[in-house]
């Protein structure tokens, strides 16, 4: 546990840099997104295409903020669960 905590502290562990998702659905979804982007890029005038890209960027930013909050919430829940387990163990299994 000590080496994990040190690695986390020193920035050697970066969950968001874990590589591409392995779920086969991800590849299909990514391909669909690219196809739809290409469709709109081919039919929209340049100024509308830029506006469309701005919308995509805002959506990505919103999703990133939401994912960070969900991660924080999940991590907090996990820590609270660990505290409960340790307290339970300390009160029920002490000699």
> What is the reported pLDDT for 28?
93
Q: Is residue 72 part of a domain?
A: yes
> What is the reported pLDDT for 15?
66
Q: Assign 85 a pLDDT band (cuts: 50, 70, 90).
A: confident
> What is the reported pLDDT for 14?
74
Q: Is residue 89 part of a domain?
A: yes
State how far the Cα of 34 lies from the Cα of 27, in Å rounded to an integer. 11
Q: Is residue 21 part of a domain?
A: no
Q: What is the mean pLDDT of residues 7-22?
A: 74
> What is the reported pLDDT for 20?
72
Q: Is residue 91 part of a domain?
A: yes
Q: Is residue 47 part of a domain?
A: yes
**Residue 13 pLDDT > 90:** no
Q: Which residues form the domain of 87?
A: 40-95
Q: State how many domains the chain has.
A: 1
Return mean pLDDT, the chain: 86
pTM above 0.85, yes or no: no
Q: Is residue 4 part of a domain?
A: no
Q: Is residue 14 part of a domain?
A: no
Angle (CA) 17 26 70, round 5°: 55
Largest CA-CA distance found in the chain, in angstroms, rounded: 76
State how far the Cα of 21 lies from the Cα of 30, in Å rounded to an integer. 11
Q: Is residue 62 part of a domain?
A: yes
């Amino acid at each position: 546990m000590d080496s994990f905590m040190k690695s986390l502290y020193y920035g050697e562990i970066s969950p968001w840099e874990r590589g591409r998702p392995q779920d086969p659905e991800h590849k299909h979804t990514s391909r669909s997104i690219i196809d739809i982007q290409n469709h709109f890029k081919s039919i929209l005038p340049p100024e509308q295409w830029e506006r469309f890209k701005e919308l995509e960027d805002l959506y990505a930013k919103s999703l990133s903020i939401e994912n960070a909050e969900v991660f924080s919430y999940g991590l907090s829940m996990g820590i609270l669960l660990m505290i409960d387990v340790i307290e339970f163990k300390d009160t029920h299994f002490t000699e």
